[in-house]
Amino acid sequence: MGFHDLKHRRIFNSPVEVVRIGLPDYFQIIKHPMDLGTMKSKMRKGLYSSTSDFSADVQFTFDNALLYNPKGHEAYKMEKQLFVEEEEEENEEEKVVVEVLED
């Protein structure tokens, strides 16, 4: 279950439709709404002045899913799975670096 799976992208690809879904408290809980579609638009417009700005928006996107949604919710579960996969990838990358340095 990777992020490139269409089901995963769909959830994070556009702003949360607060009115349509009926989430009256969303903006009381989520202070910095962000999604991948908005990020793509910001990139095309040259609105990111640094990679750290971009990284912060990525973090907001996924942190918001964890903050707003209960543990059993689809978005929460997907974000948790993506976090685990990202950690595994980082661990593999670290192993490769260590192996190269030890040679």
Which pLDDT does position 62 carry in this prediction?
Answer: 82
Q: pTM higher than 0.85, yes or no?
A: no
How far is residue 85's CA from residue 1's CA, in Å, rounded to a whole number?
9
How far is residue 78's CA from residue 37's CA, in Å, rounded to a whole number?
17
Which pLDDT does position 6 carry in this prediction?
Answer: 44
Question: Where do the structural domains in the chain lie, given as residue ranges?
Answer: 6-102
DSSP state letters, 40-96: HHHHHTT---SHHHHHHHHHHHHHHHHHHS-TTSHHHHHHHHHHHHHHHHHHHHHHH
In the CATH hierarchy, which top-level class contains the domain 6-102?
A: mainly alpha
What does DSSP assign to residue 24?
T
Would you tell me how many other CB atoms lie within 10 Å of the CB of residue 91? Answer: 9
Which pLDDT does position 59 carry in this prediction?
Answer: 87
Which pLDDT does position 56 carry in this prediction?
Answer: 92
pLDDT means per 10 residues, the chain with 103 residues, are 51 89 94 94 94 90 84 69 62 58 60
